[in-house]
Amino acid sequence: MTEDDVLIVKRVLAGSRDDFALLVGRYKNLVFALAYRFFDDASRAEDVAQETFVKAYKRLESFRIEYDFKNWICAITLNVCRDMKRRDAHPARSPAGLSTETAENIAFASRDKFSASSAQKSLIRACVANLPPKYRGVIVLRYFDGKSYEEIAEITALPSGTVKTYIFRAQKMLYEMYVDLRKRAQAALV
């Protein structure tokens, strides 16, 4: 956390409510981007951002100064995304609705890193949207935000080993979705 963040948090806790707007201004794009990557929907990302900052303000007393405010706000954002996903009555988008051409073009460079064209990235986002929330969050942080395992562990309050396990399982699920899409695409060509 930057020294500026520490000072702002201390001022807000001392009663200066207006100073919280400085934190909102500093982190609103980060929160929106993380929520957008989670849902791939700007309207829902805006809802998440609003709810995130309301929760952050209400819970500011529980924030520990020795931690990074940026990671703390990311953790709240992911929790809000997961909660919203659970409350969501709409089923997740199915990658089966994607074109055969797109399904044919998908390729994962390795189990550790995504490498994809823009068409492939659309398919990857659709597949990620179908992951269970606990896996989706770590995948978004790792591959879309470039966070290290340690940073993800801090943000999610999970042990580093659990983070690695979740990422491994999510990669396996994504690969299985890919295999399923390949089979569907090949069947459509017959």
Q: Say what the alpha-carbon torsion angle 32, 172, 83, 157 is, to the nearest 10 degrees.
A: -80
Q: For residue range 5-15, list pLDDT tens digits in order.
A: 888 888 998 98
Distance CA 32, CA 16 (A): 25
Residues of the chain with pLDDT under 70: 1-3, 89-123, 182, 185-186, 188-190
Q: What is the pTM of this model?
A: 0.60
Instruction: Output the pLDDT for position 177.
Output: 85
Instruction: Output the pLDDT for position 122.
Output: 66
Amino acid identity for residue 59 in this structure:
R
- Could you tell me which of 139, 6, 168 has the C-alpha nearest to residue 72? 6
Q: For residue range 28-70, list pLDDT tens digits in order.
A: 999 999 999 888 888 889 999 999 999 999 999 988 888 889 9
Instruction: Output phi, psi for 115, to 5 deg.
Output: -140, 115
